[in-house]
Structure 1
Amino acid sequence: MTHFGKIKSYDAGKGSGTIAPEKGGDALTFQKSDLQQEAAEPKQGQRFGYETNQASGGDMCATNLRQQEQGDNFQRDQASNQQG
């Protein structure tokens, strides 16, 4: 299931960051390798879609992050509303 959130922080030196879920809750960690487009470093405030997975330490983390475009958000929201 795809979740959405905004980048809270990203440390290029460590290659890791956190994303704040739109639906609330604690920020989730992610690694640069979890980004679909590894060449582009995420910036604070950018919206991403992601899945969640349990990390080896037992905490939830964000994986398979995909940056969301303005048009994608509108189409996805419309489709969601139509499905009920």
Structure 2
Amino acid sequence: MTHFGKIKSYDSSSGTGSISPEEGGEALRFKKADLQQQGQVPKVDQRFSYATSEVDGGRKRAVNLQHQQSAGETREDQARTQHG
């Protein structure tokens, strides 16, 4: 099932972050390897689609994250995001 949320935090030095689900609930952790476009640097408040996976005894984390272009975002904005 596909979910949607916004990036809450991302630490480029550790390659980990969290995403806040649009449907509510606590933020889910993710790793850089979980990004569909690993060259992309996610930024706070960007909207992503994602799936969930259970790890560590049933705790959920976000996987297969894919950036979702917002209405006000241009292709140039997306290109800048993908290249850092």
Q: TM-score, normalised to structure 2's length?
A: 0.80
Moved over 2 A (4+): none
Question: Identity, % of aligned pairs?
Answer: 55
Gapped regions of structure 1 (runs ≥ 5): 72-84
Equivalences for residues 39-54 of structure 1 within 5 A:
39-54=39-54
Alpha-carbon distance in 1 for matches of 2:70, 2:31: 24
Question: Which residue is 2:67 aligned to?
Answer: 67
Deviation at 1:70, TM superposition (A): 2.9
**Count of residue pairs the alignment pairs up:** 71
The structure whose residues are more often helix, as a share, is: 1
Q: Tell me, which stretches of 5 or more residues in structure 2 are unaligned?
A: 72-84
Q: Distance in 1 between matches of 2:14 and 2:7?
A: 15
Per-residue deviation, residues 54-75 of structure 1 (Å, max 9, x unmatched)? 013431000000000136xxxx
Residues 15/57 of structure 1: CA separation in 2 closer, same or farther (3 Å cut): farther
